Structure 1
Amino acid sequence: MLTLKGEKVYLRALEPEDLDFIFEVENTEEFWEISATKVPYSRYLIKKYLQNSHRDIYEVKQLRLMICSNDHNPVGLIDIFDLEPKDRRAALGILIVDESNRGKGYGAEVLSLIADYCFSHLGIHQLYAGVTADNKSSINLFEKNNFRKVGVKKDWILVNGKFKDEILYQLINNVH
């Protein structure tokens, strides 16, 4: 089992017991904007996904890990996706599900853990993330954790009939 541990949270591989948590997250419309989801997911599809979540990151080009508080409660998910092994880059997506768990430093610790993992174990040279321009908490999270704003994609995401800009952030590993 993959375990990446910090002072406040740890990251672990997905388990079959995570079905209900992931089902709820994937079917919460509030989160669809950040995950580019357009339709609900069935329990069947999520169960199949969990059954295949052990597949190698280099084969499927993604890895989803559960974020757990130190009292072993799931608080969110971190995704490494769009892995490009040749160019040694990958995208990140992070979600702390319950608002009561936001602002506690979980996100910052997760970004630190996942960056260390990607740079040291996967040989990634750069991580990147897209954040809508109105998502102030995510902007603060990435900027406070050394991700640099490198561009803005104008009118990139259509939400409820209105276009939103998306800010592109990068974290480059300068240790070769």
Structure 2
Amino acid sequence: MKIEGEKVRLSKIDENNLSFVSELECNSMVWQYEESVEKDKEAARSKYREQMNSQYHYDFVITKESNDSESTDLESPIGIVQAWSYVEHRHSWELGFGMLADYQGKGYGYEAVQLLLQYMFETTNARKIVGMCNSKNVKSIKLMEKLNMTREGIFKEEFLWNGNYCDQYFYSILKKEWQSANKGG
């Protein structure tokens, strides 16, 4: 499955891109605001292999679209975007995303998450999508706020990061809010 955007393409994670995904999952620079980062590439590969056919995980590789209109080739993958069941009976999903440093701040992550939200709200049972981030992760905060997600709360000293407990911000967007913001409702 592929989802086309103007700047990026989302492709379901499969055997062909597991090497990239396992490298990205073990890249401490990509996940610098997380409590822990996977170090074992085979463990990361195995985790995504198990999730590939799950109805509770939607995991996509983000690929930058080629600027050459005559070329059908795409550049190398630049990140991942995903949603997984957060509270199944409430039709609530959690959002996650990670991007190689060279591609951050250029709109690729924003478009990728926007495409994922559109997919989740239009083709699955998603009623609400939540996102959580370290209170120090300004880029993630800005991205979720730009997507019209609402900061619903702050989990005080939620996790240990760089030897200190830090706050975690909790964001969400409801399907009706997404539709209204995107003139679909």
TM category (shorter chain) comes to 0.7 to 0.9
Q: What residue in structure 1 maps to residue 89 of structure 2?
A: 86
Distance 1:116 1:84 in 2: 19
Within 5 Å, which residues of 2 pair with 1:1-176? Answer: 2-32=1-31, 34=33, 36-37=35-36, 39-43=38-42, 45-57=43-55, 61-71=56-66, 72=74, 73-97=76-100, 99-174=101-176
C-alpha spacing 1:38/1:95, structure 2 compared with 1 (3 Å): closer
Contact 1:32 1:38 in 2 (8 A): yes
Distance 2:81 2:35 in 1: 15
The CA distance in 2 between the partners of 1:80 and 1:138, in whole Å, is 15
Distance (Å, rounded) in 1 between the aligned partners of 2:110 and 2:29:
22
What SS does the corresponding residue of 1:108 show, helix, strand or coil? helix
- RMSD (CA atoms): 2.1
Q: Which residue of 1 aligns with 2:71?
A: none
> Offset of 1:173 from its aligned partner?
1.0
Structure 2 CA distance for partners of 1:5 and 1:156, relative to 1, 3 Å:
same
Give the structure-2-normalised TM-score.
0.82
Structure 1 position 28, deviation (Å): 2.0
Q: Take 1:134 and 1:46, find their aligned partners in 2: how far apart are those partners?
A: 25
State the SS of the aligned residue for 2:153.
strand
**Hey, what's the Cα distance between the residues in 2 that align with 1:83 and 1:21?**
25
How many corresponding residue pairs? 170
**8 Å contact 1:62–1:83 — kept in the other structure?**
no
In structure 2, the CA distance between the partners of 1:34 and 1:88, relative to structure 1 (3 Å rule), is farther
SS at match of 2:29: helix
Shift, 1:55, TM fit: 1.2
TM-score by length of 1: 0.86
What whole-Å deviation, never above 9, does each CA across 1:102-151 have from its counterpart, x for those lacking one? 11111111121111111111121110000111111111111011001110
